[in-house]
């Protein structure tokens, strides 16, 4: 292939990255803007189906194959031909990292040459997530690029952009003053087209955001840091790419100027340190070569060449990572909450039983993005060590909308099983419990019943009875005291959400009578 | 003819000319007119009710900005009777625009998510078709307003409701857990922001305070479909009854009293009606109300 065609390929690669990244963000963000209606279907989850790592981990953990994930065998098979093209051309998080590496390029803090030691790290990561999945613990979602990006955009990027935009234009909402009048058209436009009606809020913005921005800033240290050194999916593709037909080679025109190493994503070059397992087929080297000396070709690699050009983790490191992975898999399973019958957290409607849930959930946060009321939140340690970033319900930030079943539709791994709207309206996430020490109708002796008003169950799962009682003034009065009908209550949490108390709710949802745990033992 | 007879006869004849008027004054109460119209089409009965009150031109001046405030509180469909009938809203928007209003805005601060309630209730589509601006509540537009009431004093209100020239209150008649019924006076809770749940303590006084201090130009109660039980959110079609009625009046309390009558219960048993009566906002006894009933 000629260098000129190589340059075209470089441009095509950048175009592909822009297109796929745009598509990814468009699908994800359109999910967040949609209302509760089940009729507006979204395709946000489709990116995940092209992720062979998730297919593998899910198969290992649950010994079942998710049919739609078989789509991921397509890019995996193509890798045997084209090398790690997926990382270079398709992966949106790869594109984000590449973009930041490009921005940080001028800082020139990077050292030259391939860091082979660090490149091994991603294989260790792959071994860790695979081995711990064998033990039923699913850490893949922490590092899987799709999960990581979706989670970060959902809980950090999207809400902060919304906040910054709204905060800077907020004055335009008011009618008095020159500033307000000047900002008003911009405010009205963004209110109509961009801003969410209600600013979303998530737990752990500091932790998830901190990790996300750290990963972006690590590109300052080494370009495409995450992709080269941490990404387990990259490692999986790297293993396949060793056997790929795609090859880059310098020919006799080479003047040993090392220009090809200048923009290489892993800082190798076809001239020296060419690593098939790390080349993401970006064509930067071909574009940079002043003498058109780099030839790309598709041919079956010779066996003796393979060992020389690839990274060997070594038996010790492999064994060490396996043992470490086993520990990682076992440790959360012997933590004390696992032995306890009690748990204080609730899962979204349709969630499978907890043990299975932890094996299936990839912590991607799709459900959090799609939830129209901001009800679903990423957990920290409430669900145990391995449950970090799994979805839990929080009635302080939202409630489960009666006419919505969207979260059951987007879960890529079906940790939240798909439910028809009718099924979801009957699905018991938990049960509301009245805290009689706090509820106004008991503690202070006056009428309130805001929870009763909001209860969406047509037969009313929250009712009240008129009871003579002593009020806070010491007088005997008839008060409409609220009570819950557990058989009807689904634990949607709107009662807790609307309870007017400002210290702690007088009625709260609890995991009592959770439908998904009925048959677990 | 004696002089006395002459005087008597002239008096009788002249008075008989004014008889309908005089009789009306003697028998019917003097208060604000309340019109109750029954009929098959919610759109037609709304138009008729306003026409009987004197037409929309009587209430709206040319170039007015008019706010129509329906009840769009819940993510429910028309058949579930939790939100105002969209046809009623459509009729009002059309009438207001025909009367020369510069702009008609339709807005409510719902309990569920606004994007959902606006569209599911059908009001968004109906109002936009009729030419109104459908506006979502925007918390950046909250201002503190002093209602100077017993229960409600200072409270955040959406500026939109204070800035417009005329407000038309378009509630739906339905059952309400803590208040008993929610009609025109209770509908005004929808102009408020903030922690509205707090106003459910002593709710009757709160409702009366609000209605006493914030006076819509016109109240049109949609009692076409009414929710008999499990309100205000409802959900079961079996809890809904067709009454095919619209009530219109400038007097918010008397509109409520007539609506209570349509619902089939006695006004005295509702605390918020009594609280409004104590504030001398109108008559509680339906026989003392200047009521005009029409069937089409």
Which of the residue ranges A172-186, A191-205, A483-497 has the most confident prediction, judged by mean pLDDT?
A483-497
Do B102 and B117 have their domain in common? Answer: yes
DSSP string, B210-249: HHHHS--SEEEEEEEEEE-SSTTT---GGGEEEEEEEEEE
Do B23 and B42 have their domain in common? Answer: no
Distance in angstroms (rounded) separating the CA atoms of residues A174 and A165:
16
Q: How high is the pLDDT of residue A41?
A: 59
CB within 8 Å: B201 and A440: yes
Pairing of strands A391-393, B133-134: unpaired
Q: What is the mean pLDDT of residues A112-139?
A: 88
Task: Report the percent of chain A where pLDDT is more than 90.
Answer: 44
Contact residues, chain B, for A37 at CB < 8 Å: 116, 119-120
Do B289 and B143 have their domain in common? Answer: yes
What range defines the domain where residue B266 resides? Answer: 31-295
Partner residue opposite A500 with nearest CB, options B119, B200, B202? B200
| Residues A29-59: tens digit of each pLDDT | 877 665 555 455 567 788 899 999 999 999 9
Do B211 and B67 have their domain in common? Answer: yes
pLDDT at residue A295 tops 70:
yes
- How open is the CA angle B197-B200-B203, to the nearest 5 degrees? 150
pTM above threshold 0.90: no
Q: Shortest Cα distance from A460 to chain B (angstroms)?
A: 7
All structural domains of chain A, each given as residue ranges with its CATH number in brackets, are 3-34+41-153+205-315 (no CATH), 428-521 (3.30.70)
Distance in angstroms (rounded) separating the CA atoms of residues B188 and B169:
8
ipTM confidence score? 0.84
Q: Give all strands (DSSP E) within A244-302, no chain letters.
A: 246-250, 294-298
The closest of B71, B134, B146 to B104, measured between CA atoms, is B134
- Asked if A298 contacts A332 with a C-beta cutoff of 8 angstroms, the reply is no
Kindly state the tokens that stand for A398.
Answer: 């939202």
| Residues A228-248: tens digit of each pLDDT | 999 999 999 999 988 888 888
How high is the mean pLDDT of chain A?
86
Contact residues, chain A, for B198 at CB < 8 Å: 500
Q: What is the mean pLDDT of residues B237-262?
A: 93
Least confident piece of the model among A93-102, A349-358, B28-37, B145-154 = B28-37
Do B10 and B136 have their domain in common? Answer: no
CB within 8 Å: A402 and B195: no
The residues, any chain, with a CB within 8 Å of residue B214's CB and separated by 6 or more, are: B147, B161, B167, B188, B191
Kindly state the tokens that stand for A80.
Answer: 């045997």
Confidence of residue B227 (pLDDT cuts 50, 70, 90): very high
Asked if the C-beta of A197 comes within 8 angstroms of chain B's C-beta atoms, the answer is yes
Q: Shortest Cα distance from B52 to chain A (angstroms)?
A: 35
Q: Residue A277: how many CA atoms within 13 Å on its side-chain side?
A: 26
CB within 8 Å: A166 and B120: no
Chain B contact probe: residue of A30, A447, A461, A462 with most B CBs at under 10 A: A447
- Asked if A146 contacts A86 with a C-beta cutoff of 8 angstroms, the reply is no
The closest of A388, A406, A374, A407 to A345, measured between CA atoms, is A388
Do B253 and B217 have their domain in common? Answer: yes
Between A337 and A88, residue with greater pLDDT? A88
The residues, any chain, with a CB within 8 Å of residue A22's CB and separated by 6 or more, are: none
Residue in A with minimal Cα distance to B120: A37
Confidence of residue B260 (pLDDT cuts 50, 70, 90): very high
Q: Residue A357: how many CA atoms within 13 Å on its side-chain side?
A: 23
pLDDT at residue B257 tops 70:
yes
Q: How high is the pLDDT of residue B14?
A: 63
Peptide bond into B232 cis (omega under 30): yes
Do B3 and B113 have their domain in common? Answer: no
CB within 8 Å: B239 and A455: no
| Residues A341-359: tens digit of each pLDDT | 788 899 999 999 888 898 8
Q: How high is the pLDDT of residue A38?
A: 45
Residue B194 CB burial class (10 angstroms; 0-12, 13-18, ≥19): middle
Q: How high is the pLDDT of residue B296?
A: 86
The residues, any chain, with a CB within 8 Å of residue B97's CB and separated by 6 or more, are: B104, B130, B131, B132
Do B6 and B54 have their domain in common? Answer: no
- Total number of domains constituting chain B: 2
| Residues A132-169: tens digit of each pLDDT | 998 888 888 899 999 999 999 999 998 898 899 888 88
Q: What is the mean pLDDT of residues B27-41?
A: 84
CB within 8 Å: B178 and A447: yes
Q: How high is the pLDDT of residue B250?
A: 94
Confidence of residue B178 (pLDDT cuts 50, 70, 90): confident
Distance in angstroms (rounded) separating the CA atoms of residues A272 and A216:
28
Could you tell me the sign of the dihedral formed by the alpha carbons of A29, A192, B142, B97, in that order? negative
Do B155 and B265 have their domain in common? Answer: yes
Q: How high is the pLDDT of residue A73?
A: 93
pLDDT at residue A436 tops 90:
yes
Q: How high is the pLDDT of residue B146?
A: 93
CB within 8 Å: A401 and B111: no
The closest of A232, A233, A230 to A221, measured between CA atoms, is A230
Contact residues, chain A, for B115 at CB < 8 Å: 35-36, 197, 372
């Amino acid at each position: 292939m000629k260098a000129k065609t190589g340059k075209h390929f470089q441009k095509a690669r950048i175009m592909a990255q822009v297109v796929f990244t745009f598509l990814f963000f468009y699908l994800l963000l359109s999910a967040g803007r949609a209302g509760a209606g089940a009729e507006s279907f979204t395709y946000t989850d489709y990116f995940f189906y092209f992720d062979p790592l998730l297919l593998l981990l899910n198969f290992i953990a649950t010994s079942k194959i998710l049919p739609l994930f078989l789509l991921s065998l397509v890019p995996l098979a193509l890798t045997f031909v084209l090398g790690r093209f997926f990382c270079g051309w398709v992966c949106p998080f790869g594109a984000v990292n590449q973009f930041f590496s490009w921005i940080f390029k001028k800082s020139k803090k990077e050292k030259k040459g391939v860091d082979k030691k660090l490149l091994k790290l991603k294989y260790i990561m792959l071994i860790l997530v695979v081995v711990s999945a064998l033990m039923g613990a699913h850490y893949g979602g922490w590092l899987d690029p799709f999960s990581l990006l979706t989670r970060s955009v959902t809980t950090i990027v999207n809400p902060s952009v919304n906040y910054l935009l709204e905060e800077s234009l907020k004055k335009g909402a008011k009618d008095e003053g020159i500033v307000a009048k000047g900002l008003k058209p911009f405010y009205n436009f963004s209110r109509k087209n961009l801003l969410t009606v209600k600013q979303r809020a998530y737990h752990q913005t500091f932790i998830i955001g901190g990790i996300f921005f750290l990963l972006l800033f690590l590109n300052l240290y080494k370009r495409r840091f995450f992709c080269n050194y941490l990404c387990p999916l990259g490692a999986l593709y790297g293993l396949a790419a060793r056997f790929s037909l795609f090859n880059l080679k310098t020919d006799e025109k080479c003047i040993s100027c090392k220009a090809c190493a200048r923009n290489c994503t892993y800082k190798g070059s076809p001239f020296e340190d060419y690593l098939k397992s790390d080349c993401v087929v970006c064509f930067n080297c071909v574009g940079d070569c002043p003498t058109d000396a780099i030839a790309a070709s598709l041919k079956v690699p010779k066996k003796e060449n393979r060992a020389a050009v690839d990274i060997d983790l070594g038996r010790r490191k492999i064994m060490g990572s396996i043992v470490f992975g086993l520990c990682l898999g076992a440790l959360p399973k012997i933590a004390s909450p696992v032995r306890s019958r009690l748990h204080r957290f609730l899962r979204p409607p349709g969630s499978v039983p907890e043990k299975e849930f932890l094996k299936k959930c990839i912590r991607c946060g799709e459900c959090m993005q799609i939830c129209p009321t901001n009800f679903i939140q990423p957990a920290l340690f409430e669900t145990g060590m391995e449950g970090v970033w799994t979805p839990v319900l929080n009635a302080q930030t939202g409630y489960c909308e009666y006419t919505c079943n969207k979260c059951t539709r987007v879960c890529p791994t079906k940790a939240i099983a798909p439910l028809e709207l009718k099924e979801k309206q009957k699905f018991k996430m938990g049960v509301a419990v009245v805290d009689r020490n706090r509820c106004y109708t008991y503690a202070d002796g006056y009428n309130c019943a805001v929870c009763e008003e909001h209860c969406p169950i047509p037969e009313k799962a929250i009712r009240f009875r008129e009871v003579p009682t002593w009020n806070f003034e010491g007088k005997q009065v008839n008060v409409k005291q609220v009570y819950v009908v557990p058989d009807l209550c689904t634990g949607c949490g709107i009662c807790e959400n609307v309870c007017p108390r400002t210290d702690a709710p007088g009625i709260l949802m609890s995991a009592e009578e959770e439908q998904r745990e009925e048959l677990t033992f | 003819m004696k002089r006395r007879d002459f005087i008597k006869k002239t008096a009788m004849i002249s008075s008989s000319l004014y008889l309908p008027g005089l009789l009306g004054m003697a028998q019917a109460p003097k208060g604000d007119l309340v019109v109750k119209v029954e009929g098959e089409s919610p759109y037609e009965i709304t138009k008729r009710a306003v026409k009987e009150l004197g037409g929309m031109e009587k209430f709206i001046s040319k170039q007015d900005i008019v706010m129509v405030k329906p009840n769009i509180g819940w993510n429910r469909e028309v058949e579930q009777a939790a939100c105002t009938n969209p046809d009623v809203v459509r009729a009002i928007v059309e009438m207001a625009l025909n009367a020369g209003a510069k702009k008609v805005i339709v807005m409510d601060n719902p309990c569920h998510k606004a994007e959902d309630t606006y569209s599911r209730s059908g009001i968004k589509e109906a109002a936009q078709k009729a030419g109104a601006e459908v506006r979502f509540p925007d918390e950046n537009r909250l201002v503190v307003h002093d209602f100077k009431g017993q229960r409600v004093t200072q409270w955040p209100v959406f500026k939109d409701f204070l800035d417009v020239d005329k407000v038309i209150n378009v509630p739906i008649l339905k059952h309400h857990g803590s208040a008993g019924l929610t009609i025109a006076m209770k509908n005004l809770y929808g102009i408020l922001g903030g922690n509205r749940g707090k106003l459910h303590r002593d709710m009757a006084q709160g409702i009366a305070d609000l209605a006493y201090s914030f006076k819509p130009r016109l109240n049109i109660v949609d009692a076409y479909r009414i929710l008999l039980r499990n309100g205000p959110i409802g959900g079961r079609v079996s809890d809904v009854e067709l009454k095919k009625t619209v009530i219109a009046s400038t007097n918010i309390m008397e509109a409520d009293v007539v609506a209570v009558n349509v619902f089939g219960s006695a006004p005295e048993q509702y605390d918020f009606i009594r609280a409004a009566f104590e504030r001398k906002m109108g008559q509680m006894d339906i026989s003392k109300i200047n009521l005009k009933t029409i069937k089409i």
